[in-house]
Amino acid sequence: MVTAIKALCLCARALLLLRTDFLKFIWFQPMTHNPIVPDVVALLQQMLSAIEALSQPTAPEGFSDYRKVVYSNITKGNGDGWYILEGDRTVTQPPVFTGQILQISFPMLERSGEEVRKFHLTMKANGSVFTFESGDDCFFSKTILATCAAASPEVLSQPVQLKTYLKELRTGRKTLAVSLRGANNQLLSSEWQNDDDWNAIAALAIANVNTANGCAQ
C-alpha cells in the first residue's frame, strides 16, 4: 500500500513538473482550447495533495485496547498515576494517553461501601472508549477542568494528549498531576487556585466539551 502511494505521488509530481511544456503546447493551439489550462493544472495539484495526505501517518491514539475504567491514584498506580483493575489485581498503564474528549461528568458511585462523588473524563481512541476516574476535588481533576474551561471548543474537538507526572506540593506531599497538549502539540493550561469557583469552572468545561462534540447545551 505504501509503495503504491509513493508511486502515485511520483507520478503526480512528474505531471506537475511537465506542466510548463504542457502550457507551451496549449499556447500554440487554437484559442478555444486555452481555457482548459488552469483547470488541468488545478486538478493535478488537487491530485498531488490528496495522494500526499494518504501517505501521512496517522497520529497514535490511546495506550492500549482495554475498554475499561482507568483509575487515577498515586499510591496504587504505576508511580505516575493511573491503573485498571482486573478482579483484585492492579494493572498499571503508561503515563501518556492521546484521544478525543467525549464527556466530563461527576457521577455518584459506591467506593469502599460508601456513596462518593467522582470525576469522570471519558475519551475515545482507536475506536475504544476510556473513562478516567479520580476524586472530584484533586489536583488531577482540577487541572483538567481548568484547562477545558479555558480551551476553545475548536481545540477540544481535536485529539488531546494527557501526560501524568508526580508533583510535590508546598506541604511536601506528592500528588498526581497532569499536563494536556492539543493536536499541534501546543501546551494547554490554565492557572487555578483551590478557592476558585469550581462549580462555574466545571460548568464551562462541560459546555466547551459538549460544544466540541456537537452536543446540545
Whether residues 48 and 118 share a domain: the answer is no
Q: Which residue reads 481545540 in cell numbers?
A: 155
Q: Does the pLDDT at position 54 exceed 70?
A: no
Residues 34 and 135 in one domain: no
* Same-domain status, 100 and 177: yes
Expressed as residue numbers, the domain containing 137 is 69-212
- Identify the pLDDT of residue 11: 56
Q: Which of 54-58, 62-66, 116-120, 200-204 has the lowest mean pLDDT?
A: 54-58
CA separation for the pair 81, 179 (Å, rounded):
13
Phi/psi of residue 95, nearest 5 degrees: -85, 10
Residue with cell 509513493: 6
Let me know if residue 127 belongs to a domain: yes
Q: Are 120 and 104 in contact (CB under 8 A)?
A: yes
- Cα–chain-centroid distance for residue 145? 16
Structural domain includes residue 176: yes
Give 149's pLDDT tier (boundaries 50, 70, 90). Answer: very high
For residues 69 and 121, give the distance between their C-alpha atoms in angstroms, rounded to a whole number: 10
Q: For residue 170, what pLDDT band results from cuts at 50, 70 and 90?
A: confident
The structure's pTM equals 0.63
Contact 13, 48 (CB under 8 A): yes
What pLDDT is stored for residue 89 in this prediction?
Answer: 75
The answer to the question of residue 189 being in a domain is yes
Q: pLDDT value at position 112? A: 85
